[in-house]
Chain A
Amino acid sequence: DQQVKQNSPSLSVQEGRISILNCDYTNSMFDYFLWYKKYPAEGPTFLISISSIKDKNEDGRFTVFLNKSAKHLSLHIVPSQPGDSAVYFCAGGGATNKLIFGTGTLLAVQP
């Protein structure tokens, strides 16, 4: 049972436009969600998080939206830059120390 799903393996966006990466989850016990960014040959790095009691969290060009009733979260990047090209993972966390990761979405920002 895949508790965190990223149904789009890849996404291509023009520089300056908005990138929207989506994530769905099935586990109602998640207390918070995180987005990680991964460049080739590097480890994932933390990008932004959101608590399950909030519906929006913003950090510069990055905003995460949470729709608990739909069990859906999304990451918006505005404006998109070529340096944002990477694989993005969403993850859910709960009362334990473990995170459950999605399969990732490869974002390509075209100059």
Chain B
Amino acid sequence: NAGVTQTPKFRVLKTGQSMTLLCAQDMNHEYMYWYRQDPGMGLRLIHYSVGEGTTAKGEVPDGYNVSRLKKQNFLLGLESAAPSQTSVYFCASSFRHPGGYEQYFGPGTRLTVT
């Protein structure tokens, strides 16, 4: 049971290049999320999904697109990378239980845009 995995772990992009970050979970969770973490800013929600085929915008969606074609996968795309997108990206998944929606996180992807 791998939990939440993210690919790649590190990436360096030049301004204007594109890339896709892959998140996979094997816990059969309905809900998936993409966050970015920046110094002093905590975890900010980029996009999220409440089920296969659905996506929604979070707090900081500009410059990113997502897709959830399969329940276990959630892809985050950067069409034209900018230095402001240099960050650590975390994927998470969750399910609903009586206590709420505890989220399980992947190990992160460190992205540098030069």
Residues on A facing B (Cβ under 8 Å): 6, 9, 31-32, 34, 36, 41-46, 49, 51, 89, 93, 97-99, 101-104
Could you say which of B4, B40, B104, B105 contacts A9, with CB atoms under 8 Å apart? B40
| CB–CB B100/A93 < 8 A | yes
Pairwise interchain contact A98-B102, C-beta atoms closer than 8 A: no
Q: How many A-B pairs fall under 8 Å by CB?
A: 56
Interface residues on B, range: 20 to 34
Quick one: closest A residue to B9, CB to CB?
Answer: A41
Contact B43 A46 (CB under 8 A): no
Q: Is B48 an interface residue (CB 8 A)?
A: yes
Q: A97 near B31 (CB under 8 angstroms)?
A: yes
The answer to whether the Cβ of B96 comes within 8 Å of any Cβ in the partner chain is: yes
